């Protein structure tokens, strides 16, 4: 074979050329990475499925993205409100439901809308259609069909949301009557804190279990308000230049000598009009104006001296930071900064020497930690502010909360170890503060760190459970002995309430249902509703106060607030026709009524999560599985398997 190629060089060249050509053609045709084959396989591959057996291919997904580009250009308000244009899955599922409802027309329906849009915007229909075709990459017929789908989605959404408008006038009046009826009476609140209810001391295991359940939750945000997460805390030190020291310094200065005061009076006599207009000889002289002149000069000189001290402190602190590099406004402090930085004690001595005054006072928050809110409660320092960061004053607590070590803020830059700008207190005192150490928010590591709070909350729960278990006995006691005796037995008080409503007409007209406040309990919609419902169910024909106590006394558990509410109803003032009239035609109020009947906010039905769940939408090859089929980091879940792919992905 080799001899043949050596003897026939021309033939060997042709064989080599033909062979290489065939090899390249076979690679282009059969390699899966070629554009032709990839597009063919991708278009037919299954992309997702729904619970009713519908399979969506990769080709369908690409078409949906084209349709999204077209409807985004149209700017349909329904699409914008729901955020449909951001995701092909959202668009597909809405179109799918609209088609099943029989609300999607044909291409003619879409063409009619484009014609209307062209007329209203005063542009040629051909230009509008051309723009949609160029933006989406679709043919005119495909654009018409896409707009027809958009029309169907609009009809579908409008049909669901307009449900409240079909409520009858009778239903509206009944709901308005219940929401606007005003109930008056007396209330006793037996909570787990103030009520005298004996409960056993919690065990160490119970305390540990309570901490394990709610230790990572911020106080007030867990069940029944439980939460023991420690806030961001810090250790701070500060220097105080008392206003009295500045005043004393100024009063001893030459600026308040008789010569300087007289000179000021001669140059500013127009500032002392009352004295100049005096009819007495003394009133029109310097001696007659001396005290007024002195007060004015003193105030101006104190303000000037305060500014001088502030500038000196600022310049001195900048000098101490010279040469230390900064990144985004924060200093890259050396590791030994705690010992090499300028101590506040040294700064205090320099202020005293510079201005010839008593050395400023040095203070710390002590050995423990202090939260930013607690910094705000420190007398003097807590209310002192600076305008160094803008027009809005910033106080000491805000400076601590904004520390870089606590996450920082783009508004102003602070960090541990760096002295704050000079803050001025309400009485004229000057302050310089520095955070020396921080402890970021975290769950308590031991029961002892929050023992008192744990005991209080466990006892609160135990008292409520005991009260709730005695509902029948408490009801009998309230009827037989009266609310006053009941309250005395539990160490609480009886409170009167007047004109309690489920909401106010002024709020209802804006679609807000805000219940009235109950003494000792606050706002609690279920409790208010129970009181109003009982009042409206009482027999009519005679005054409520004349009805037996058994009919108008009720005990209501308020589990969320770990309280038992005992109410005696004394009167009911029904809603007036003047109040209900405007509500009958109010769409926001109709939505409230529809929600009270058991429906949720209608627009929530069209959110992506709701559509995915309702249609059983699942990706055939979820992104995580495509990224790493063998990896399992514990984050894979059903939610991940149904996560939608964003437009353009």
Give the tens place of pLDDT for each residue, 254-284.
Answer: 877 777 788 877 777 777 765 444 444 444 5
DSSP 449-464: GGHHHHHHHHHHHHHH
Asked whether the beta carbons of 420 and 396 are under 8 A apart, the reply is yes
Is 416 or 19 the better-scoring residue by pLDDT? 416
Provide the b/e sequence for 11-27 (b: ≥16 CB within 10 Å).
eeeeeeeeeeeeeeeee
The bridge status of strand 46-49 relative to strand 55-57 is antiparallel
Q: Binning pLDDT at 50, 70 and 90, where does residue 646 land?
A: very low
Q: Three-state DSSP class for 1?
A: coil
pLDDT tier at 166 (50, 70, 90 boundaries)?
low
Q: Which two tokens stand for residue 171?
A: 């239903």
SS3 percent helix, strand, coil of the chain, rounded to 5, is 55, 15, 30
Average pLDDT over residues 465-472: 92
d(CA 264, CA 255): 10
Number of helices (H), then strands (E), in the chain: 30, 17
DSSP three-state, residue 379: coil
pLDDT per residue as tens digits for the range 214-238: 999 988 888 888 999 999 999 999 9
State mean pLDDT over 81-85.
82
How high is the pLDDT of residue 187?
95
Report the chain's mean pLDDT, rounded to a whole number. Answer: 82
Q: Is the pLDDT of residue 463 over 60?
A: yes
Provide the sign of the torsion angle of the four alpha carbons 82, 600, 532, 554, taken in this order: negative
Helix (H) or strand (E) holding 437: strand 430-439
Which range is most confident: 104-118, 417-431, 537-551? 417-431
Q: Is the pLDDT of residue 46 over 60?
A: yes
Q: In what order do the strands lie in the sheet with 430-439?
A: 361-364, 233-241, 430-439, 423-424, 385-386, 394-395
Share of the chain above pLDDT 70, in %: 81
pLDDT per residue as tens digits for the range 519-538: 999 889 899 999 999 998 89
Q: What is the pLDDT of residue 293?
A: 82
Name every residue whose Cβ is closer than 8 Å to that of residue 264 and which is 6 or more positions away in sequence.
293, 296, 297
**Contact 210/507 with Cβ under 8 angstroms?**
no
Least Cα distance to 242 among 142, 361, 159 occurs for 361
Average pLDDT of span 460-484 = 93
| Per-residue model confidence as pLDDT tens digits over 366-417 | 888 999 999 999 999 999 999 988 888 999 999 999 999 998 887 788 999 9
Question: What number of other Cβ atoms are within 10 A of residue 615's Cβ?
Answer: 20
Q: Residue ranges per domain, the chain? A: 2-30, 43-161+617-641, 182-212+454-573, 234-439
Torsion of CA 480, 481, 483, 486, to 10 degrees: -120
Q: What is the DSSP string of 129-145?
A: HHHHHHHHT--HHHHHH
Q: Residue 437 forms beta bridges with which residues?
A: 235
With 80 as the cut, is the pLDDT of residue 111 above it?
Answer: yes
**Greatest mean pLDDT range, 136-145, 151-160, 169-178:** 136-145
Identify which of 610, 595, 615 has the alpha carbon closest to the alpha carbon of residue 161. Answer: 595
Cα–Cα distance, 239 to 199 (Å, whole number): 48
In this structure, what token pair is assigned to residue 289? 């104006």
* pTM for the structure as a whole: 0.56
pLDDT of residue 256: 78
User: Do residues 409 and 448 lie in contact, with contact meaning Cβ atoms separated by under 8 Å?
Assistant: no
Give the pLDDT score at 642.
38
pLDDT, mean of residues 46-58: 81
Q: According to the model, what pLDDT value does residue 612 have?
A: 87
Distances (CA, A) of 638 to 123, 157, 534, 616, 629: 49, 28, 45, 11, 16
Task: Provide φ and ψ at 66, rounded to 5°.
Answer: -65, -45
């Amino acid at each position: 074979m080799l001899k043949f190629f050596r003897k026939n060089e021309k033939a060997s060249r042709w064989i080599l050329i033909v062979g290489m050509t065939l090899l390249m053609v076979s690679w282009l045709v059969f390699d899966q990475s070629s554009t032709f084959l990839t597009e063919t396989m991708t278009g037919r591959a299954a992309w997702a499925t729904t619970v009713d057996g519908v399979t969506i291919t990769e080709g369908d997904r690409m078409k949906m993205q084209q349709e999204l580009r077209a409807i985004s250009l149209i700017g349909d308000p329904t699409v914008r409100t729901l955020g449909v244009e951001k995701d092909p899955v959202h668009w597909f599922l809405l179109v799918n439901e609209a088609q099943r409802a029989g609300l999607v027309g044909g291409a003619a329906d879409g063409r009619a809308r484009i014609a209307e849009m062209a007329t209203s915007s005063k542009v040629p229909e051909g230009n509008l259609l051309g723009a949609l075709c160029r933006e989406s990459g679709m043919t005119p017929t495909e654009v018409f069909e896409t707009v027809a789908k958009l029309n169907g989605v609009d009809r579908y959404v409008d049909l669901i949301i307009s449900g409240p408008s079909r409520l009858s006038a009778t239903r509206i009046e009944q709901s308005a009557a219940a929401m606007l009826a005003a109930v008056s009476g007396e209330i006793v609140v037996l909570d787990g804190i103030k009520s005298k209810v004996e409960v056993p001391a919690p065990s160490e295991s119970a305390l540990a279990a309570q901490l394990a359940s709610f230790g990572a939750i911020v106080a007030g945000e867990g069940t029944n308000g439980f939460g023991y997460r420690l806030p961001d805390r810090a250790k701070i030190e500060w220097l105080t230049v008392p206003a009295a020291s500045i005043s004393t310094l100024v009063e001893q200065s030459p600026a308040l000598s008789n010569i300087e005061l007289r000179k000021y009076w001669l140059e500013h006599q127009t500032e002392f009009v009352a004295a100049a207009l005096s009819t007495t000889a003394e009133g029109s002289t310097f001696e007659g104006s001396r005290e007024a002149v002195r007060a004015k000069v003193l105030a101006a000189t104190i303000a000037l001296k305060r500014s001088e001290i502030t500038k000196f402190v600022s310049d001195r602190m900048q000098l101490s930071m010279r040469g230390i590099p900064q990144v985004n406004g924060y200093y890259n402090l050396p590791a030994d900064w705690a010992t090499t930085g300028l101590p506040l004690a040294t700064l205090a001595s320099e202020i005293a020497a510079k201005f010839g005054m008593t050395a400023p006072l040095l203070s710390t928050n002590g050995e423990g930690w202090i939260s930013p809110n607690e910094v705000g409660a420190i007398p003097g320092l807590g209310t002192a502010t600076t305008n160094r960061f803008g027009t809005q004053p910033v106080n000491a607590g805000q400076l601590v909360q904004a520390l870089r070590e606590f996450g920082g803020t783009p508004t102003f830059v602070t960090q541990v170890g760096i002295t704050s700008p000079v803050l001025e207190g309400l009485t004229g005192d000057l302050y310089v503060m520095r955070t020396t150490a921080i402890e970021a928010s975290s769950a308590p590591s031991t029961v002892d760190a929050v023992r008192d709070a744990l005991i209080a909350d466990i006892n609160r729960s135990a008292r409520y459970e005991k009260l709730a278990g005695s509902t029948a006995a408490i009801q009998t006691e309230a009827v037989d002995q009266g609310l006053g005796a009941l309250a005395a037995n539990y160490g609480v008080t009886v409170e009167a309430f007047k004109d309690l409503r489920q909401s106010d007409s002024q709020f209802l007209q804006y679609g807000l249902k805000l219940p009235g406040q109950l003494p000792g309990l606050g706002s609690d919609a279920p409790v208010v509703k129970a009181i109003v419902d009982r009042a409206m169910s009482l027999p009519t024909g005679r005054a409520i106060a004349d009805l037996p106590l058994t009919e108008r006394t009720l005990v209501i558990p308020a589990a969320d607030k770990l309280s038992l509410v005992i109410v005696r109803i004394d009167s009911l003032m029904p809603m007036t026709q003047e109040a209900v009239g405007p509500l009958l035609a109010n769409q926001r109020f109709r939505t409230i009524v529809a929600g009270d009947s058991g429906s949720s906010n209608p627009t929530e039905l069209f959110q992506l999560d709701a559509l995915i769940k309702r249609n059983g939408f699942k990706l055939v090859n979820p992104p995580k599985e495509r990224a790493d089929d063998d990896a399992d980091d514990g984050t894979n879940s059903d939610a991940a398997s149904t996560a939608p792919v964003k437009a353009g992905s």
